[in-house]
Structure 1
Amino acid sequence: MALRHVLITQWRMCQFTGSEMVTLELAEHFAASGAKVTVVVHEGGEPVSALLAAAGDVRLWSSTDAGLDEFLRADPPDLAWLQHQIIPRFVLSDDFAGHVVVNHMSAYQPLENALAPEVERRLATVSVFNSAETLDRLRDSGVLDRFDPERLRVFPNPAPDDIAEVKPRVRGDGPVRLLLISNHVPQELAEAVDLLPSGVEIVFVGAQTGKGASPARVDAELLSTVDGVVSIGKSVQYAIAAGLPVYCYDRFGGPGWLDLDNVSSARYHNFSGRGFERKDAATIAEELAHGYAGAAESVDAMRAACGPDLVLGPALDALWEHCEENPRPVPGIDPAARAAQQSVAALGRLWTTTHARAKRHGTALTKSRSDLARLSDRRRAEDARNAETMARLRSRHAEQLATLRSRHATKLERRTATIATLKSRLASTEAELGRLQRSHDRRIMRAAAAVARLVDALAQVVRRRPA
């Protein structure tokens, strides 16, 4: 497959998400083969745009750049790989004679649909779909009714060639290391991770840093450091190509560990997890902890069952051979169809702008919520500290009050005892005084009686004397 110049269109190149990785891997593959690569996007940004720049002879253009058509006309591409309804004006013109591949990577995302089917039908050498499910759903919608069935093919998210060369990690007696890849991990899967025994280790890659994930590109180097993968979609293809057991589960549910019994059904749905029931956290944890050995036994057979289109190089070679054998129709796109396509592209740009603005607002809202949560946590911590301080003060006050009460009670008891003693002594004194008083009274009475008798005796003496 010798190409001189390849054009790829993609709505954005910013983050490590599915379609952006598809575009990056295509650009890297074509550039490594010696081709010049032009990537046209509505929105570009770090870190993915930097990876594009490092891929070789790759140039990133904005879809609104006024010099794009002149650039393409001066050096027409041999292949235009079109995604997300972005078709430069030159490719729509009768002057463009290269092959056209229109890639549909979802049956649910609006920009992945055939929004201008007449343009695609006349322009595309072949329309490809990331899974049989995507092809069937778009076919059932009626947008492909007038398409030549020979120009509709499944191109199922093949993995870069070097991933198929990954050497298995030597684990020894250590824990099973599973790579969890997700930008939208569901609650039950997050809870299951917390239930895993020490014999299972999780490496979490994704955009949800608040849940412990680290944004990173999943490549051959990373896959060589793990024993298995937990993910959906394109990452499942990576795992199978690398010979790693894969637990297929995420926000849409999933079958769990893939084997020969469920891999065909899972692949039909692009390994998205659709078509299977959701599981609870305890079930997921049990399966992750005890199902690895059985899943590992099925890896080689699954890789063989998926066939050569599991790997990007062979898959592209087969697709290019099909393009060479089936040249695209004579363009003949009338002005009305071109205008319709340009309107679709404009809507795509508006959608991208709105999405980016919503993402910025979402990021700002998330930051505000995070800041509010931190303030709330700080307030709760301060309230807890204040409550603890108040509790200590109350306890200290209660202890001091109890001590004072005890001291006062002891003093009162001593004073009461002293008063009782004094009362007892007073009563004894009063009794003694009474006894003394009575004794004194008796003595006085006896003395008075004696005096009376003496006086009476003297009176008698006086009366007996002669006058």
Structure 2
Amino acid sequence: MRIVLANSAFHRVGGSETYLATLAENLLRLGHDVRIYTRVAGDMAMLARRHGIEVIDSVDDLGVAADAVLSQDGIVAYDLAGAWPQVPQAFVCHSSLFDVQQPPLVPGTASAVIVLNDRVRRRVEALNVDLEVVRLKQPIDTQRFSPRSSPAARPTRALVLSTYLDGAQRHVLDESCAAAGVELVSIGIDHVDLAPEALMADVDFVVGKGRAVLEAMACGRPAYLFDSFGGDGWITPDNYPELEADGLTGQLGERGIDADRLRADLAAYDPDWGRLGRELVLRHHDARQHAHAVLDVLAGLGAGHGRPVTLESELARQVQLRWSAEAELFGLRAETRRASARAVTSVEEVELARQETAHARHALAQVTAELDRLRERLADYEQRNRRLRRRLRRLGDDPQAETPGRADD
């Protein structure tokens, strides 16, 4: 099947952007001809191309009509409906907050809407338009996001993965973590990292919302649901169903998370939540199964199976996959080099500490020896002082008692 996935902006790292990249890669693995259309390319377009996905930033360059379109905002939905009015289109709605991300209301633009949680489903069902609504779950690439180490029994370092968490909410998080002895590192607002899975291996838990916490769980990290919009605390097997249904927004509870709640939650940290969280992601959020479900939706719109696979198209797909594997290999090599550099630095630091310890022990031995000499001299002085006192007492009792040759000293 020839499929075009679309998002008006594909330049920054965000939930809807990473969703589209994940879906594209898994559809490509199934042998489909997948392209991404965007008006604004950038970091995410670079990441998608690195994984063998073609990214097009002009309607004029779309080429042959697709068999199906999957759009994520009204801008590109209408772009592609205008370019290919006969091509069936589905829409993925990610938000109940931003109007640009709601399904197009013009009849015939999109025939089905995929929603990834019940909160958004209620929003879509309230729209004044007749649309088929399909409820799926957020897909996570569990091969890319997988455990590389285990969280510590007591947390000392955490990752804030958010494009929103700042202001008063961030301040209370900073203060609470500092009081608990937890160092915070951040990506999302001031710093962008296209490979957050590598950084997750160096922390004990992750703070965020939506896809960010699911990726953390896939990496075997306890996930703390907290953002500028609200918070629901640790994600556990007990509260996962209702948190997932609400879209992992952090807005499920009746009251927010204050400093006292944060401190109590940090004290209740359990590293086993990382292992249990990964099991939840494997069971409910496998990107491969999600790709199958999306294909079912597109087929239900009449997309069919597309054009027969040709030798040229399959060779092109294999080259794309080969490039994706090579890009991943280069990334792993770079990560290995960084890890080796950290290990060398650690060895050097250990050696320096050993040398400093040896110097300190030598200095301590010298100080101890000098102290022993001073103690001996002090004992000698005290002995002489006692003798002098005895002489003074004798002189005081009998001034004639002291004669030459009878001195005690």
The partner residue of 1:313 within 277, 285, 288 is: 288
User: Residue 81 of structure 1 corresponds to which residue in structure 2?
Assistant: 70
Quote the offset at 1:305 in angstroms.
5.2
Rounded to whole Å, the distance in 1 between the matches of 2:31 and 2:45 is 20
Rounded to whole Å, the distance in 1 between the matches of 2:303 and 2:25 is 29
Q: Is 1:161–1:312's contact at 8 Å kept on the other side of the alignment?
A: yes
1:266/1:218 Cα in 2 relative to 1: closer, same or farther (>3 Å)? Answer: farther
User: Residue 249 of structure 1 corresponds to which residue in structure 2?
Assistant: 226
1:192/1:175 Cα in 2 relative to 1: closer, same or farther (>3 Å)? Answer: same
The partner residue of 2:238 within 235, 238, 261 is: 261
The partner residue of 1:101 within 71, 75, 90 is: 90
Rounded to whole Å, the distance in 1 between the matches of 2:158 and 2:231 is 17
Identity of counterpart residues, as a percentage? 18
Q: Is 1:230–1:247's contact at 8 Å kept on the other side of the alignment?
A: yes
Q: Is 1:160–1:312's contact at 8 Å kept on the other side of the alignment?
A: yes
The partner residue of 1:280 within 258, 262, 266 is: 258
User: Residue 179 of structure 1 corresponds to which residue in structure 2?
Assistant: 159
The partner residue of 2:39 within 37, 42, 45 is: 42
What's the CA shift string for 1:153-188, capped at 9, x where partnerless?
123321123245x12414568853321111221423
Rounded to whole Å, the distance in 2 between the matches of 1:89 and 1:198 is 51
Q: Secondary structure at the match of 1:260?
A: coil
1:258/1:129 Cα in 2 relative to 1: closer, same or farther (>3 Å)? Answer: same
For normalisation by structure 1, the TM-score amounts to 0.57
The partner residue of 2:50 within 36, 41, 54 is: 54
User: Residue 28 of structure 1 corresponds to which residue in structure 2?
Assistant: 25
1:27/1:170 Cα in 2 relative to 1: closer, same or farther (>3 Å)? Answer: same
Alignment partner of 1:110 is 2:92: no
User: Residue 239 of structure 1 corresponds to which residue in structure 2?
Assistant: 216
The partner residue of 2:175 within 194, 199, 209 is: 194
Rounded to whole Å, the distance in 2 between the matches of 1:192 and 1:87 is 39
Q: Is 2:117–2:247's contact at 8 Å kept on the other side of the alignment?
A: yes
1:23/1:172 Cα in 2 relative to 1: closer, same or farther (>3 Å)? Answer: closer
Rounded to whole Å, the distance in 1 between the matches of 2:256 and 2:185 is 22
Rounded to whole Å, the distance in 2 between the matches of 1:243 and 1:16 is 22
Quote the offset at 1:34 in angstroms.
4.6
Rounded to whole Å, the distance in 2 between the matches of 1:264 and 1:298 is 15
Rounded to whole Å, the distance in 1 between the matches of 2:274 and 2:245 is 18
Rounded to whole Å, the distance in 1 between the matches of 2:70 and 2:218 is 24
Number of aligned residue pairs: give it: 300
Quote the offset at 1:239 in angstroms.
2.0
1:170/1:242 Cα in 2 relative to 1: closer, same or farther (>3 Å)? Answer: closer
For normalisation by structure 2, the TM-score amounts to 0.64
Q: Is 1:107–1:134's contact at 8 Å kept on the other side of the alignment?
A: yes
User: Residue 339 of structure 2 corresponds to which residue in structure 1?
Assistant: none
Q: Secondary structure at the match of 1:202?
A: strand
Alignment partner of 1:153 is 2:134: yes
Alignment partner of 1:162 is 2:143: yes
User: Residue 186 of structure 2 corresponds to which residue in structure 1?
Assistant: 204
Quote the offset at 1:60 in angstroms.
2.1
User: Residue 10 of structure 2 corresponds to which residue in structure 1?
Assistant: 13
User: Residue 192 of structure 2 corresponds to which residue in structure 1?
Assistant: 215
Q: Is 1:229–1:239's contact at 8 Å kept on the other side of the alignment?
A: yes
Larger Rg: 1
Rounded to whole Å, the distance in 1 between the matches of 2:77 and 2:29 is 24
1:169/1:30 Cα in 2 relative to 1: closer, same or farther (>3 Å)? Answer: same
Of structures 1 and 2, the one scoring higher in RCO (CA 8 A, sep 6+) is: 2
The partner residue of 2:122 within 136, 148, 152 is: 136
| Aligned partner letter, 1:315 | H
| Aligned partner letter, 1:314 | Q
Rounded to whole Å, the distance in 1 between the matches of 2:89 and 2:153 is 51
Quote the offset at 1:307 in angstroms.
6.6
User: Residue 357 of structure 2 corresponds to which residue in structure 1?
Assistant: none
What's the CA shift string for 1:112-135, capped at 9, x where partnerless?
222325224xx43x3101211101
Rounded to whole Å, the distance in 1 between the matches of 2:83 and 2:187 is 43
Note the residue ranges of structure 1 that are not aligned, 5 or more in a row: 331-467
Rounded to whole Å, the distance in 1 between the matches of 2:19 and 2:258 is 32
1:221/1:29 Cα in 2 relative to 1: closer, same or farther (>3 Å)? Answer: farther
More helix by share: 1
Note the residue ranges of structure 2 that are not aligned, 5 or more in a row: 305-409
| Aligned partner letter, 1:129 | V
Q: Is 1:38–1:59's contact at 8 Å kept on the other side of the alignment?
A: yes
Rounded to whole Å, the distance in 2 between the matches of 1:286 and 1:51 is 39
Q: Is 1:169–1:227's contact at 8 Å kept on the other side of the alignment?
A: no
Q: Is 2:35–2:54's contact at 8 Å kept on the other side of the alignment?
A: yes
